[in-house]
Structures are given as C-alpha cells and as structure tokens.
C-alpha cells in the first residue's frame, strides 16, 4: 500500500478558491513528481533503474543526487543506524524521501494568504505557521498500543516523525545485526525538516537509547521513545505540550 | 470542435504500484474546518477523480476524528496509517470506489 497524504491548509477568509486550488495543485504535483522519480514500486522509475544498475547518477534527475547526499549525512549523524545502503535490494532512500517529498509539497503552500499548513504523509508531519496567535502548532502522537488513542501531545512548528513496530512492510531493519527488529514500540523525532526527522525516527526505532542520546546532541532536533514495556524516554528539550521547551516561535518567520 | 477522449491508464494492479496516494485535502477557513475528501492520482490517466467518501470507512480519517475530538490539535503523528488492520479496511474502501 502506498503512502497516504493529507493536506490541511489554514487560510484567510475571502481567499479566492481558484488560487487555493492552484496552490494545493502544486503541492500535489510535488508529491507526484517525487513518486515518479523515487518510487521503488514503479519498475521504470529513475530510482528503480539506478538500483538495478541500468543507469548511473548522471542519467537521473538531480533530486536523486540531492536525496542520496542527504541520506549519507543522515547515516553519519545516526552513526549508521539509518543506512539506506544496508537494505537488501540496493540503496533505498524511502525512509528519508517520504519526508523530503512532504516538505516539497509544503513549500508549494508557503504563500501570503496561507496562515498555516500541515502535510501529513502516513503519520509523518511537515508544517509551518500559526493557527492561534502566540501558540505553536499542536500534534498528538498515537499510542502504539492503541492506535485509536493519542499517547501525548507535542507543541512544535516544523517536522514531527514517528516510526514504530506497527509500520507495515518496511520491516525496520537493524543495519548492525542485519535483522528486522526494533528496540522500541514507537519513536518520535521533532525538528526543522521532515526528511531528516524521518530518517532519525527510523534510526531511533531500531537503535533505541544510543540513538536517542545522539539526536539530543543535534541542534534543533528532539526525540522521544515509547518502549515495548511502556517506558518512555525523551531528550531534555522534547516539546511536550505545556512544557517550557515548547515556544511559540515559528522558525520560518 | 472535436475533443480527444481522455486516455485511461488502467491501474496495473493493487495500489502497491505507487508511493503517494493523496486521499484528503482539508481546508480551514478562518476557524471553521471544511474537509473536502478527494482521491488523488491513483488511476486517472491525468484526470483526477473525485468522489465523496463515507468517512467512517476510511481509517486514515479516524485519525482526523481524533483531531476533531480535541479542537486544538492540528495533526496526528504515528505509524498506524499503514498497520495491517488499517490496510485491510482501507483496501476495502478503495475497492468499493472502484480502485482495485
């Protein structure tokens, strides 16, 4: 099953519908473009052909190089716990590109009439703006033991990525043991950008405590895990709703 | 004037053939939320199809119901969209709408 994306746009009253439709159309085009280039489900996508060795980097769209370079950064920043090159079948940047694509869609919505926007790609969120004066955006994190309930609420503007054992198909792959395992039931990373937050959340779900501490040392990122035993660990600045760490500042403004 | 009929690209199998399906766009206009639910480019040959959907049948929108319960939440983060239970009912809902 593919990635389901929802787009929430908060706009000023009186905004012409055709303009709104145009902006949302561009956001959707950005997602389609990412799918066309990166989908490993499509046999003939540039990514699939690259994986099969039929083409080289010089023959594929520039976004591929950009994404793979970012994945190299993410691999380094997570001490190898996020490693698209360790997956069977050839390099697979899906754990990063889903978030990156959501950010490209969000960029299409950064328009004067748009007070806030939230792009939610299968539970990973990219956002900007403000819906309540002086208040940051608020997001619920799903309870991994009961996905119909929230476990908690965070206050953050930007990216919120959650990875978990209940993720389908993409069995979380431990690049060190080379097995599909996970250290925690749910791993959440908040930060300024969703591609990285996504990669970090993936690394956190398999790497657990070591990765939590690592992410805590990275500027702008905070993390939280819910263990299989329901124990919760988090970085000191994790923006629980109502905590001192959550501020109303939107880094984009 | 003659018009060229739209080219239909048949979906070559179940939705596994693409990574991004856009299932919902919600628009909030100065505080009151309108949800317009549209199916994105799942099988359109370039022509997007829109249908109204029984919200109860789409599990992804259960997440939005969670949102609605707490009016001051702007989104829900979690990996549950793709859990197997959700997949099964989502698949069922899409089949009902003619997406195989």
pLDDT band at A54 (very low <50, low <70, confident <90, very high): very high
- Percent share of chain A, pLDDT over 70: 88
Tell me, yes or no, whether B73 lies in a domain. yes
Domains of chain A: 5-234 (3.10.520.10)
In-domain check, residue B14 = no
Residue B49 within any structural domain of the chain: yes
Beta-carbon contacts of A5 under 8 Å, excluding residues fewer than 6 positions away, are A31, A102, A105, A119, A120, A121, A122, B20, B21, B22, B23, B40
Q: What is the pLDDT of residues A176-227, one digit of tens each?
A: 766 556 778 899 999 999 999 999 999 999 888 999 999 999 999 999 999 8
Q: Residue A190: closest CA among chain B residues belongs to which residue?
A: B77
Q: What are φ and ψ of residue A94, in 5° steps? A: -50, -40
pLDDT at B31: 56
Q: Is the pLDDT of residue A237 over 50?
A: yes
Give domain status of residue B3, yes or no.
Answer: no
Query: pLDDT band for position A169 (50/70/90)?
Result: very low
Kindly list the residues from chain A whose CB atom is less than 8 angstroms away from the CB atom of residue B77. 120, 123-125, 139-142, 154, 160-162, 188
- pLDDT-based confidence at A21, cuts 50/70/90? confident
pLDDT, chain A, mean: 86
Asked if A101 contacts A159 with a C-beta cutoff of 8 angstroms, the reply is no
Q: Does pLDDT of A89 surpass 80?
A: yes
Residue A147: its pLDDT value, please? 73
A25-34, A52-61, A84-93, B84-93: range with lowest mean pLDDT: B84-93
Domain contains B13: no
Task: Give dist(CA A102, CA A195) in Å, integer.
Answer: 8
Contact A1 B76 (CB under 8 A): no
pLDDT < 70 stretches in chain B: 1-71, 80-100
- Predicted pLDDT of residue B83: 41
Number of domains composing chain B: 1
Kindly state whether A144 is in contact with chain B, defined as any CB-CB distance less than 8 angstroms: yes
Quote ipTM for the complex. Answer: 0.87
Please, which pLDDT band fits residue A60 given cuts at 50, 70 and 90? very high
Between the two ends of chain A, the Cα-to-Cα distance in Å is 36
One-character DSSP codes across A147-165: EEEEEEEEE-SSEEEEEET
Instruction: Give the model confidence (pLDDT) of A106-160 as tens digits.
Output: 999 999 989 999 999 888 999 999 988 888 899 999 888 877 778 889 999 999 9
pLDDT score at B70:
58
Q: Residue B20: its pLDDT value, please? A: 56
**Which residues of chain B lie closer than 8 angstroms to A128, CB-CB?**
none
Domain that holds residue B34: 19-96
Residue B84 falls within a domain, yes or no?
yes
Note the pLDDT of residue B55: 34
Global pTM? 0.79
pLDDT at position B65 is: 57
In a domain, B89, yes or no: yes
**Residue A186 burial (10 A CB sphere; 0-12, 13-18, 19+):** buried
Check residues A12 and A95 and name the one with the higher pLDDT: A95
What pLDDT does residue A49 have?
95
Task: Give yes or no for B12 touching A (CB within 8 A).
Answer: no
Domain presence at residue B10? no
Report pLDDT for A134: 84
């Amino acid at each position: 099953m593919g990635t389901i994306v929802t787009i929430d746009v908060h706009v000023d009253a009186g905004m012409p519908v055709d303009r709104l439709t145009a902006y949302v159309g561009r956001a959707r085009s950005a997602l389609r473009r990412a799918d066309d280039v990166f989908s490993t489900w499509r046999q003939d996508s540039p990514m699939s052909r690259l994986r099969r060795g039929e083409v080289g980097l010089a023959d594929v769209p520039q976004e591929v190089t950009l994404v793979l370079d970012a994945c190299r950064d993410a691999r380094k920043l997570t001490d190898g716990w996020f490693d698209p090159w360790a997956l069977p079948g050839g390099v697979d940047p899906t754990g990063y590109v889903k978030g990156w694509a959501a950010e490209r869609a969000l960029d299409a919505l950064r328009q004067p009439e748009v007070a806030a926007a939230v792009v939610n790609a299968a539970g990973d969120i990219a956002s900007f703006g403000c819906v309540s004066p002086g208040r940051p955006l608020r997001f619920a994190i799903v309870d991994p033991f009961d996905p119909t309930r929230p476990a908690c609420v965070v206050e953050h503007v930007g990216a919120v990525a959650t990875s978990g054992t209940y993720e389908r198909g993409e069995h979380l792959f431990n690049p060190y043991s080379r097995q599909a395992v996970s250290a925690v039931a749910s791993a959440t990373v908040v930060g300024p950008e969703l591609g990285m937050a996504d990669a970090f959340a993936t690394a956190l779900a398999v790497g657990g405590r070591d990765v939590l501490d690592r992410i805590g040392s990275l500027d702008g990122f905070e993390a939280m895990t819910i263990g299989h035993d329901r124990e919760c660990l988090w970085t000191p600045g994790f923006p629980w709703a109502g905590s001192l760490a959550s501020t109303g500042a939107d880094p984009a403004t | 004037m003659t018009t060229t009929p739209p080219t239909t690209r048949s979906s070559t199998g179940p939705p596994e053939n693409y990574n991004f399906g856009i299932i919902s766009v919600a628009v909030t206009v100065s505080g009151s939320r309108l949800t317009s639910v549209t199916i994105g480019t799942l099988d359109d040959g370039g022509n997007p199809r829109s249908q109204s959907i029984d919200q109860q049948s789409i599990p992804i929108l259960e997440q939005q119901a969670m949102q609605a319960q707490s009016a001051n939440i702007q989104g829900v983060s979690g990996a549950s969209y793709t859990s197997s239970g959700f997949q099964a009912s989502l698949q069922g809902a899409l089949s009902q709408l003619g997406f195989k």
